[in-house]
Amino acid sequence: MARLTTPEPDLLRDFHDLLLAVADRIVVDGQDLDHAFDETVHGWSALLGRPRGMSLQKRIGLHGELAVLGRVAQLVGWQAALDSWVGPAGEEHDFALGEADLEIKTTTSELRSHTIHGLGQLAETPGRPLWFASLRLTRGGVGGRTLGDSAKATRDAAAAENIALGRRVDRLLAAAGWDPDQTEDERWTPRDSPLMLRASDMPRLTAEGLPGGSVGRIGHVTYVVDVTGLRPDEHPPIVDLSDLALP
pLDDT digit string, tens, across residues 46-90: 666 655 678 889 999 999 999 999 999 999 999 999 999 999 988
Nearest by Cα to 158 from 145, 147, 170, 148: 170
Residue 10: band (very low, low, confident or very high) from pLDDT cuts 50, 70, 90: low
Helix or strand (DSSP H, E) at 134: strand 130-139
pLDDT for residue 18 is more than 70: yes
Q: Please, is 143 exposed, middle or buried when counting C-beta atoms within 10 Å of its C-beta (0-12, 13-18, 19+)?
A: exposed
Nearest by Cα to 44 from 65, 18, 68: 18
- pLDDT-wise least confident of 86-95, 189-198, 210-219: 210-219
Q: What's the whole-number average pLDDT of the chain?
A: 88
Taking the C-alpha atoms of residue 113 and residue 96, their distance in angstroms, rounded to an integer, is: 23
* pLDDT score of 176: 93
What is 75-125 written as a DSSP string? HH-HHHHHHHB-GGGT-SSSEE-SS-EEEEEEESSSS-EEEEESSSTTSPP
* pLDDT score of 148: 94
Could you read off the pLDDT of 217-228 as tens digits, one per residue? 777 889 999 999
**Domain ranges, ordered by start, for the chain:** 10-48, 56-226
Could you read off the pLDDT of 233-244 as tens digits, one per residue? 788 888 999 999
Nearest by Cα to 90 from 122, 121, 53, 126: 121
* Residue bearing the bigger pLDDT, 20 or 216: 20
